[in-house]
Amino acid sequence: MAEIGIKDLKVAASRVIKEVEAGGSYVVTKRGRPAAVIVPVDDAEDLVLANADEYIRMRRRAREAYRRGRTTNLSRLA
């Protein structure tokens, strides 16, 4: 992931957005320290969903079921 300072981002915002639309991503730094991340919308949606409370609960239930051997082989579902 490329880094860009806030001052440079102000100058190159259009170029950076085009690169992000094409799949790139940036860490925005402020005084040399990471302050923000610019990622494509699809990646941002995935990140939000992966950290949503309901999804986290589902993941924990699935891991517990797996630990207890309560899983189904994928070939049985097809």
Residue 76 falls inside a structural domain: no
DSSP 46-59: HHHHHT-HHHHHHH
pLDDT at 24: 96
Same domain, 2 and 33: yes
The domain total for the chain is: 2
DSSP state of 71: -
Task: Identify the domain containing residue 32 by its residue range.
Answer: 1-39
Q: Could you tell me the pTM of the whole model?
A: 0.62
Rounded Cα distance, 34 and 36, in Å: 6
Phi, psi dihedral angles at 22 (to 5 degrees): -85, 5
pLDDT at 50: 82
Residue-wise pLDDT for 12-58, tens only, equals: 999 999 999 999 999 999 999 999 999 999 898 888 888 888 888 98
Same domain, 34 and 44: no
Neighbours of 27 (CB within 10 A): 15
The label of the residue with tokens 């690169």 reads: 19
Same domain, 31 and 45: no
CATH number, domain at 27? 3.40.1620.10
